[in-house]
Chain A
Amino acid sequence: MVIENVLAALNELATVQTFILMVIGVAGGLIAGAIPGFTIAMAVVLTLPFTFGMPAVQGIATMVSVLVGGLSGGLMAGILTGIPGTPSSVATTFDGHPMAKEGQAGLALGIGVWSSFFGGIISAILLMTLAPQLANIGLEFQPWDYFMLVMFALTITASLAGKNLIKGLIAGVVGLLVRTVGEDEAVGMARLNFGNDALLQGFDFIAVLIGLFAFSRLLHDVRDPVSARKRLSAGTGNGNISVAIEHLAAIKIIFKHWTLLIRSSLIGVFTGVLPGAGGSIANILAYDQAKKTSKTPSKFGTGTPEGIIAPESSNNAVEGGALMTLMALGIPGDVTAAVMLGALLVHDIVPSPTFITEEPVLAYSIFLSFFGATFMMLGLQSGMLRIFVLVTRVRMYMLAAIILGLCGIGVYAIHNVEFDLWTLLWFGILGVLMRQFGFPLAPMILGVVLGNIAELNLARAMAITTDLTLFVTRPWALFFLIIAIFSSAFPIYQVYRGAKKWTMFYLPVACFAVSGPLFMMGGVPRTTLAAVVVLFGAYTLWRRQQAGWVFE
């Protein structure tokens, strides 16, 4: 069955046109990733208008290619100039740039490129094998569970996205509200349109995303007239790069640290699965873990290969995890996956637990394009090094003006509706204001994406029974509610960790609370897992008591 699906997907993908589009996508993603300030999500969202005219498989393959390229593009600029192209490459610069300065730029780039490649491949394998299993779990979800899952995704994103939880939650709620404007999907009644006929269709999701994310980001970047006229990176002379990537030496070093590679990739996948977390968190987490477990932690920051392997393998592995929850549950793991969800919805594909079984060709096309794009990334990154570095020498004002102009055409092309351009403008202004006032955009984007899913499941739940207690008594719903509460409290826990006595009990209480719904689910594996979680909580509590109520 799996082989049949793989072959069918391969048949769909194996066209010259798709191959060329994927190569262009990876190259575009690599270039976008190399530009400081140009995020991967921005590159993917700007690609979206181009894919509407394409068949679903081709369009999605192109988007996945941009995504994979973007994940790796940041390392070039990070290693050679010390300025990470994307937030997910920040930790790469800690050791990559010192290595380059010591004359080992070729080796540093090689380690970065191959770590990205292996991280991507490990992630793709896990995506292919675990997504169907996760979808099987997702089949257990009823509307109450789905509704609570959406609430969990929003709260955890709000708590991870910014410094202020309330601002994050407000952003998420505003996102949900934006989605309610226009005709109600269930019964077709006009809502919150204030008598405006254009608003009856609601705000176009893609125009909102581009406005909020790309438009506002560009305007934020050109805010300072002096820096807007400067080159994005001035540290590479005239772009005359004569560095040759040392592939063989890099592979040998990576294989020597294979446990680090696998561990970092797993950190990446896990971070990707978690809604709200992304590459920017994964690369720091993996770097931190690598340093803690290294035999020579003092070398970190001076140019050690381990400091490149960990962040680069983890940030490339993130999207496999994010795509996993997207494809298996229909819940995007991060902003980039939210854009991918938008792309699927545009092609009338609604990811859900039944998606992989009902649309196997498309699902396996996504898996395979992730694989294929990772190989393409390896080839292109080695061959286009000079271009990536030259790209970092573009002046911000030029980039901003061109992209704004292209947004003006691309957004119109989605539905051939001029109102979408107005949506782009208004949400661009809103995005700038939100950035300025410290409201994170990620929860709002997730709110816009998940608003319909939440309402639909609420309506389904209410249609089955008006008993609201099911939102807190069903095992899965309760499970998501509990982790939503504890993830919301996590930023406060981090602030007061060790300073307040209650923080001693945060982890044990979280373990005890989570084990409750796991016990309720029944079955041997989940009951065992629940018992392990309880034991871990009790052990943590005991250790802290033994240590005299101080953190170990």
Chain B
Amino acid sequence: MRRLNQDAVIAIFLLLASGILFWSTFSIRTPDYGVLTPAAWPRVIIFALALLSFLYLIQSLKKGVDDNAVADREPGLKSWLVYWQNPIYCFAFFLTYLLTLPVLGSLIGGVLFVFILMSILGGVSKEKIVTHAALSLATVGGMWCIFTFGLEVILPQGMIFSAF
């Protein structure tokens, strides 16, 4: 049943999202000119999405089996967290990188992001720390140099870097 529920839940979520999005199209302003109003095309797409989601719901209820369900983990939150720990680390550190970007800037923040992520995903030992530090400095530093000096793109400096 759990496998069936996954697809059905997604279909219901998509149906709800379609409803909310369709409702939000009524707040799109309509100008006095033009044949195709700005809301028309999004409405067509949302209608198609709702229709397909409905078919998806029927299909998932009738099928009873979901091919995409995860078979290699136990049910439960703890097991889910263990199963997804690496992607969660990646997202969490990328989120931290974004939030600290105004302070650390793309160079310091980027090097730290790559170094910490490598050490978390790959494990820590003396040899690994040196390798991870060298790799993060070389790659992010190299990329930063290419963009800053080669392509003359102004990347976020951050408060720390700009203080110097």
Contact = CB atoms under 8 A, between A and B. Distances in A.
A301 B75 CA distance: 41
Contacts of B98: 418, 421-422, 425
Chain A interface helix/strand/loop/mixed: helix
A502 interface: no
Contact of A223 (B31, B56, B84): B84
B133 interface: no
Interface string A192-224: 101000000000000000000000001110111
Contacts of A145: none
Interface residues of A, number: 64
A173 interface: yes
Contact of A192 (B24, B34, B84): B24
B160 interface: no
Contacts of A228: 86, 121-122
Contacts of A438: 66-68
B151 A413 contact: yes
B64 interface: no
B126 interface: no
A176 interface: yes
Nearest to B54: A166
A190 interface: yes
A306 interface: no
A455 B43 CA distance: 12
Interface in B45-103: 45-46, 48-49, 52-53, 55-56, 59, 66-68, 70, 83-87, 90-91, 94-95, 97-98, 101
B154 interface: yes
A458 B36 contact: yes
B45 A418 contact: no
Contacts of A400: 90, 117, 121
B130 interface: no
A177 interface: yes
A339 to B, nearest CB: 19
Contact of B49 (A174, A229, A429): A174
A321 B70 CA distance: 38
Nearest to A219: B87
A167 interface: yes
A38 to B, nearest CB: 15
10 contacts: A166-B56, A170-B56, A177-B49, A190-B28, A191-B28, A219-B87, A413-B147, A413-B151, A438-B66, A459-B35
A237 interface: no
Nearest to A466: B35
A54 B49 CA distance: 39
Interface residues of B, number: 71
Interface in A391-435: 395, 397-398, 400-402, 404-406, 408-410, 412-413, 416, 418, 421-422, 425, 428-429, 432
A169 interface: yes
B112 to A, nearest CB: 9
Interface stretch (A180-188, A267-275, A322-330): A180-188
B33 interface: yes
A50 interface: yes
A218 B35 CA distance: 44
Contacts of B152: 53
Contact of B85 (A50, A225, A404, A454): A225
Given A192-B25, A408-B97, A229 B122 contact: yes
B48 to A, nearest CB: 5
A184 B59 contact: no
A501 interface: no
A180 B106 CA distance: 30
A349 interface: no
Interface in A218-255: 218-220, 222-225, 228-229
B117 A404 contact: yes
A416 B154 contact: yes
A458 B43 CA distance: 13
A471 to B, nearest CB: 12
